[in-house]
């Protein structure tokens, strides 16, 4: 079993039992335009369903993609660096976290930033990214106005920082023949996807309330216009004959875009509500069960638990 390497806001491990029902029984390429911690990619990989398939993993977070590329290419160097970070963290977690974040990670990110805005990750930088992710507050990745990572330390008693085996399994999955990583926007999927490809979209969720802030994954948010552009992309790919699966919140703006939309139905897409648990919310009282949308043109596999269809 390959588990994701990173904690990631909106990570889909908890939703996997619902999502698995909508993995097509056969497909050509697998494309995931908001890959984050890659819960669905690693699940598909672990089940053997990606064997002999080309895979395209896309995310607009340059650090995430830079880290994955380096994990793929240099897992042992990263594991060595993580062990050193874990040993120092065990002595004084909070002050070590802040020193790594302010004195090493941010300055090194700056030095390795390219003209195109991407960051040329090294094993040392990737190890710090993973360390800050596993020990920082709720696995958030947040940048301030100056583009510096500014997440405070998390509250973990014994965080699992260095896990050589998991790192090796993740590296092996990312190094599989045919797996491609792309730093870019979700629209890249339109340039790539063809008939019979399986495309899973897990965008930053539209907030259920004006104060909920699930959309702050990077400095730039994912707003209403982005959600509307995404809906057009999803409809376009369904029309093209791709297998499409989308997860999103049941916010009113998403209901309008999918549940109440004739164009979506005409493209053969159905909108279902499933019960989920929100793992990451700064407000503990909002961590209870919520409903989420799955939007898909894949026929459900009846061997998995039921979801309730709304349109």
30 touches ligand SAM (CB under 6 A): no
The CA-atom distances, in angstroms, between 200 and each of 105, 110, 234 are: 32, 32, 10
Which residue among 10, 123, 136, 154 contacts ligand SAM (CB under 6 A)? 10
Cβ–Cβ contacts within 10 Å for residue 184, how many? Answer: 15
218 touches ligand SAM (CB under 6 A): yes
61 touches ligand SAM (CB under 6 A): yes
Least distance (Å) between residue 103 CB and ligand SAM: 25
H or E element in which residue 107 lies: helix 106-111
Closest to ligand SAM by CB, 131 or 222: 222
> Rounded to 5 degrees, what are φ and ψ at 49?
-75, -10
Contact (CB, 8 A) for 153 and 170: no
Least distance (Å) between residue 36 CB and ligand SAM: 3
39 touches ligand SAM (CB under 6 A): yes
Q: Which stretch binds ligand SAM (CB under 6 A): 127-135, 217-225, 270-278, 286-294?
A: 217-225
The CA-atom distances, in angstroms, between 260 and each of 88, 161, 252, 273 are: 54, 45, 10, 14
Closest to ligand SAM by CB, 3 or 176: 3
Q: Which stretch binds ligand SAM (CB under 6 A): 58-66, 130-138, 155-163, 263-271?
A: 58-66
Closest to ligand SAM by CB, 93 or 203: 203
Separation CA 181–CA 250 (nearest Å): 30
Least distance (Å) between residue 308 CB and ligand SAM: 22
Least distance (Å) between residue 91 CB and ligand SAM: 31
For 48-53, the CB contacts below 8 A with 24+ separation are 49/23, 50/176, 52/178, 53/27, 53/28, 53/29, 53/178
Closest to ligand SAM by CB, 10 or 24: 10
185 touches ligand SAM (CB under 6 A): yes
Least distance (Å) between residue 197 CB and ligand SAM: 17
227 touches ligand SAM (CB under 6 A): no
Which residue among 27, 149, 183, 186 contacts ligand SAM (CB under 6 A)? 186
**DSSP strand E in the chain: where?**
30-32, 55-59, 179-183, 198-201, 243-249, 270-277, 289-296, 308-309
Q: Which stretch binds ligand SAM (CB under 6 A): 53-61, 73-81, 152-160, 263-271?
A: 53-61
- Report helix, strand or coil for 121: coil
> Which residues, 189 to 208, sit near ligand SAM by CB under 6 A?
202-204
Least distance (Å) between residue 95 CB and ligand SAM: 29
Size of the site for ligand SAM (CB under 6 A): 23
Which residue among 45, 55, 60, 231 contacts ligand SAM (CB under 6 A)? 60
Closest to ligand SAM by CB, 79 or 189: 189
Residues 6+ apart with CB under 8 A from 263: 235
Name the strands in the sheet holding 55-59, side by side, starting at the edge strand that comes first in the sequence.
179-183, 55-59, 30-32, 198-201, 243-249, 289-296, 270-277, 308-309
Contact (CB, 8 A) for 42 and 247: no
Q: Binding residues for ligand SAM, per CB under 6 A?
A: 8, 10-12, 33-34, 36-39, 58-61, 185-186, 202-204, 217-218, 222, 226
């Amino acid at each position: 079993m390959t588990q994701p390497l990173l904690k990631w806001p909106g990570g889909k491990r908890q939703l996997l039992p619902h999502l698995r029902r909508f993995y097509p029984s056969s497909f050509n390429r697998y494309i995931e335009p908001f890959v984050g911690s890659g819960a669905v990619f690693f699940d598909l990989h672990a089940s053997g369903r990606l064997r002999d398939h080309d895979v395209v993993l896309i995310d607009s977070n340059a650090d995430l993609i830079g880290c994955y590329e380096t994990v793929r290419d240099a897992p042992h160097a990263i594991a060595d660096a993580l062990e050193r970070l874990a040993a120092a963290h065990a002595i004084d977690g909070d002050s070590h976290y802040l020193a790594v974040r302010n004195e090493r990670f941010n300055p090194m990110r700056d030095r390795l930033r390219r003209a195109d805005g991407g960051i040329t990750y090294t094993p040392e930088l990737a190890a710090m990214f993973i360390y800050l992710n596993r020990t920082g507050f709720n696995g958030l990745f947040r940048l301030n106005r100056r583009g510096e990572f500014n997440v405070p330390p998390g509250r973990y008693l014994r965080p699992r920082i260095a896990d050589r085996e998991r790192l090796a399994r993740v590296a092996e999955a990312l190094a599989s023949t045919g797996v491609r990583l792309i730093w870019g926007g979700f629209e890249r999927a339109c340039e790539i996807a063809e008939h019979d490809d399986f495309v899973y979209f897990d965008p930053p969720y539209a907030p259920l309330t004006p104060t909920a802030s699930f959309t702050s994954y990077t400095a730039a948010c994912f707003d209403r216009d982005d959600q509307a552009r995404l809906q057009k992309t999803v409809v376009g790919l369904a029309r093209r004959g791709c297998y499409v699966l989308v997860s999103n919140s049941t916010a009113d703006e998403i209901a309008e875009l999918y549940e109440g939309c004739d164009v979506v139905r005409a493209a053969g897409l159905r909108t279902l509500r499933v019960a989920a648990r929100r793992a990451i919310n700064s407000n503990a009282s909002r961590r209870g069960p919520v409903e989420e949308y799955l939007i898909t043109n894949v026929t459900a596999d009846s061997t998995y638990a039921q979801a309730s269809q709304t349109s």
